[in-house]
Amino acid sequence: MFFSIDANNGVAIYDQIVRQVKFAIAEGSLRPGQLLPSVRSLSVELALNSNTIARAYQQLQSDGVLELLRGRGVAVCQGATKVCKEARRTLIADRLRSVLTEALHGGLESNEIEELVRKQLKQLSGTVNTVSSSLESQPIP
């Protein structure tokens, strides 16, 4: 499954969905015009309340990334890919900066931190599922 939600990582669930949708658009696994999974189906798939999904979709609409097709669902806007590519870098950079600041402040050396990053990236690149699944089955309307 495409979304991976962690209820206890300090990021609100609806915001994790917002971020991951933007990432999927940035990656190109969600393309302009494409319909997102319906609020109801995604709420079942992720075992979340549908209000939580609806809130994420609404945020994405007000961010100009999704548009409402009345009665049909919610689709990726034209031009969203570029917007999301830029947003992705900022979203990641902000969280990264926060962790790195804490690490330096906590007395770790830049070398140690870089080493830790390299080690983790190596471990994780094997693990991370870089291909979407549930989204690829969505037809372009």
Partner DNA sequence: GTGGTCTAGACCACA
Q: Which residues bind DNA (CB under 7 A)?
A: 7, 12-15, 36-41, 48-52, 54-55, 57-58, 61, 68, 70-74
User: Rounded to an integer, what is the distance from CA 122 to the centroid of its chain?
Assistant: 21
Residue 14 binds which entry of a copy of itself, DNA, none, CB below 5-8 Å type-dependent: DNA
Nearer Cβ to DNA (4/49): 49
Nearer Cβ to DNA (37/76): 37
Residue 27 binds which entry of DNA, a copy of itself, none, CB below 5-8 Å type-dependent: a copy of itself
Does residue 136 touch a copy of itself according to CB under 8 A?
no
Nearer Cβ to DNA (51/133): 51
